[in-house]
Amino acid sequence: MSELDPVIHAAARLRITAALATLHRNESITFPRLQELLEMTAGNLSTHVRKLEEAGYVTVEKTHRGRTPTTYLSLTKQGRRAFEDYVETLRSVLGEQP
């Protein structure tokens, strides 16, 4: 049996990757919008996003809208694959057929 990916397995990071996986490929979401959807504090979300970014699962793009700094988040190809593998492994652990 394969092990569940420890980077994704933490509850907060699982919620983040699951939310980002609902986006189309090459689509992103703003940090405040994700924070609102997941009802997480900025600090908590930032900490978990950093771990996902370090693993190569999430891309963080900082830009400006006019004079306002804006941060966009999206899953990388590697992150999407890791999430799909995680879900598949979880189904296997639970005895479900894909």
Please state the pTM of the whole predicted model. Answer: 0.90
Q: Look at residue 2 in the predicted model and tell me its pLDDT.
A: 65
Q: Which neighbouring-strand residues pair with 58?
A: 75
Question: Maximum distance among all alpha carbons in the chain?
Answer: 52
Q: Look at residue 97 in the predicted model and tell me its pLDDT.
A: 63
Res. 34: pLDDT tops 80: yes
Share of the chain above pLDDT 90, in %: 83
Stated length of the chain: 98
Task: Say if residues 52 and 5 touch (Cβ distance below 8 Å).
Answer: no
> What CATH number should be reported for the domain whose range is 6-93?
1.10.10.10
Running DSSP on this structure, what letter comes out for residue 33? H
Helix and strand numbers, DSSP H then E, in the chain: 5, 3
Res. 1: pLDDT tops 60: no
Q: Look at residue 98 in the predicted model and tell me its pLDDT.
A: 55
How do residues 45-77 score in pLDDT, each as one tens digit? 999 999 999 999 999 999 998 889 999 999 999
**Domain segments of the chain: what residues?**
6-93
